[in-house]
Chain A
Amino acid sequence: MMTNFPAIETRGLRKVFGDKVAVSDLTLTVERGEVFGFLGPNGAGKTTSVKMLLNLIMPTGGEGRLFGQPLSYPSVRSRVGFLPEHFRFHDWLTANEFLKLHADLYHMPQDESRRRIPELLELVNLVPHADKRLHEYSKGMLQRIGLAQALLNRPNLVILDEPTSGLDPVGRRLVRDIIRDLRSNGTTVFLNSHLLSEVEITCDRVAFIKHGEVIRISDLKSLVEGEFSVEIRARNLTSQIIAGLSHWSSNVRQDEEHLALTLTSESHLPEINRYLVDQGVDIYALRPEHVSLEDLFIQIVGTDGGL
């Protein structure tokens, strides 16, 4: 019965601190098995939203469910793994003790945690450091042990709050690889990040949040594959030839031997190429450029960063 419910479903979730509205309307649905990016400028209410999903912050209004169960039910969190921002843990514990503590909090049977903990230490490459206390760990290692902690219970939903902020490329790579593994075994991932390149690589869908409100939810694939621009460097261009390009593109700009056109479909590329060659144009470069998530972000959220 429960299998039909989406992983995350919120309607009008709202949080007000004093007279400051942190989140005004969080309405979104994250389907099972999705990798969902949660984007927005600093101060847009991302972390408050994540904390509401985990019952760390009590909503002022609206409602939310994880797998069909209200956010306030403790049992729902047995299916959730969470890596908090900044990776602040009980650092007087060793990695082994730390994972054992959290396995206990997940009510994991002893024999299962004895199997699961070494498995996870292996996954995040911390086996040689398993008996070191966490205060000796670097930030990257803390992030890895934090990830291991979030995966202990083989969760159906993993919530990552800024998992790569302040990490070196190796650390970011690890997060990406783990997200990929999670996706391939059907785990839902909710990724709160302002590192757009990260989200662009990993996510299926993204929500844009500004002033504590979801202002757009986009399918990343169709969005990025939709409109794109092409840069062409060519000689022997005449204004007649350029006018002929309007057949494929409504937006053609020329600057000497550089041409830029906006296209709606990739299938137009070979046609344009054939047309130019037939017209006797010498082509030196033809470079399709997809709209980056960064462009989109600026376009949706605005250059003021939502402030």
Chain B
Amino acid sequence: MSTFTIARLTFFEAARRKILLAAFLLGIIFLLVFGIGFHYIMRNIDSSFRTNLLELNQIRNFLLMAGLYVVNFLTVMMTVLTSVDTVSGEINSGTIHTLISKPVRRWEVLMGKWLGFAGMLTLYLLLMVGGLIGYIYFRTGYSPPNPLQAFGLMWLNSMLLLSVSILGGTYFSTLANGVMVFGLFGVAFIGGWIEQIGSVLPNKAAAQAAANVGIITSLILPSEALWRRAAHEVQSPLISALGFSPFGSSTYPSNLMLIYAVGFLLVALALALRHFSHRDL
């Protein structure tokens, strides 16, 4: 099956070009830095304050959320940076010609690329999320609520951006595609923040307006929505009840938005396959 040949090739290329090594090495450094920070903060708190387990867990959760927030951001970066050039770059350089002139269907090649990146990003996310949650668990015995759901939603976010970036690559040059995907991500990101800040505003009308901005930007690209739902899943219920937290969320996207995000991903991928199958190379 040519799809798996191309998936292997894509994964292998990332390894050969040291992208995997760089990502995983820096990922481990990130986990180490987090671990050191976590260790000293917790030690300081242990010795300075008389805290009960409930309070300690809130702090642990807060630090975990901070870590996951960065991991989500790094994964977004990894997703876009690794995949943004994969279609347009091969068209531009002409390396695609020897692939497509073989007895393969074009969708097999594109699907292979998608799978190759998906595999790599899944491993990356497993390392990072698993590393954070695992470290805190082994260090303190604390485990947050719904870690699997959170992982799944962050993974979905990465797959969503991967599909959008591959779709863009079938239409635009590498640079234009990068500008587009990050631009969309920025819009969704700021919309999410506006909604979150709005939710704590005393003025009901202003809060509603902010919520609408959030919904509209989530419709444009449901990437921030997925993160906020992931954050909601993993956040300590107590912090959620208290309201505003910089990393978590007080309001969170509905299940309908999750369905929309899955639909968005599938449509982006289908459009990419369709356009790539018909375009001139």
Residues of A within 8 A of B (CB): 17, 51, 54-58, 74-78, 80, 82, 84-86, 88-90, 92-93, 101-102, 104-107, 146, 149
Contacts and interface: CB of A to CB of B under 8 A. Distances in A.
Nearest to B9: A101
Contacts of B97: 51, 54, 56, 82, 84, 88
B2 interface: yes
Contacts of B5: 101, 104-105
A57 B280 contact: yes
B94 A86 contact: yes
A78 B103 contact: yes
A83 to B, nearest CB: 9
Given A51-B281, A56-B281, A57-B281, A90 B9 contact: yes
Given A51-B280, A90-B95, 12 more contacts: A55-B100, A57-B280, A74-B104, A74-B105, A77-B103, A84-B101, A89-B98, A92-B13, A93-B16, A102-B98, A105-B99, A105-B104
Contact of A107 (B13, B103, B279, B280): B103
A93 B102 CA distance: 18
A190 to B, nearest CB: 13
B43 interface: no
User: Which size class do B's interface residues fall under?
Assistant: 20 to 34
A51 B94 CA distance: 12
A95 to B, nearest CB: 14
B255 interface: no
- The listed residue with most B CB atoms (<10 A of its CB), out of A17, A85, A104, A106, is A104
B50 interface: no
The 8 lowest CB-CB distance pairs between A and B, nearest first, are: A78-B103, A105-B102, A88-B94, A82-B101, A84-B97, A57-B280, A104-B5, A54-B101
Nearest to B13: A92
A80 B98 contact: no
A56 B91 CA distance: 11
B281 A105 contact: no
A56 B13 contact: no
Nearest to A146: B98
Contacts of A85: 94
Interface string B97-128: 11111111100000000000000000000000
Contact of A89 (B95, B101, B280): B95
B100 A56 contact: yes
Interface in B72-108: 93-95, 97-105
B102 A77 contact: yes
A181 to B, nearest CB: 21
B278 A58 contact: yes
Contacts of B17: 92
Contacts of A84: 94, 97-98, 101
Contact of A92 (B16, B98, B100, B102): B16
Given A90-B9, A101-B5, A105-B5, A56 B101 contact: yes
Nearest to A105: B102
B281 A74 contact: no
Interface string B3-36: 0010001000100110000000000000000000
B103 A75 contact: yes
Contacts of A55: 100-101
A25 B235 CA distance: 66
Given A51-B281, A56-B280, A88 B93 contact: yes
A254 B153 CA distance: 90
A76 B101 CA distance: 10
A196 B26 CA distance: 56
A101 B95 CA distance: 13
30 contacts: A51-B97, A51-B280, A55-B101, A56-B100, A56-B281, A57-B280, A57-B281, A58-B279, A74-B103, A77-B101, A77-B103, A78-B103, A80-B101, A82-B101, A84-B98, A84-B101, A86-B94, A88-B93, A89-B95, A90-B95, A92-B16, A92-B17, A102-B98, A105-B2, A105-B102, A105-B103, A105-B104, A106-B102, A146-B98, A149-B98
A261 B93 CA distance: 52
Contacts of A89: 95, 98
Contacts of A149: 98
| Most central of B94, B100, B101, B103 by chain A CB within 10 Å | B101
Nearest to A78: B103
Nearest to A22: B280
Contacts of A54: 97, 100-101
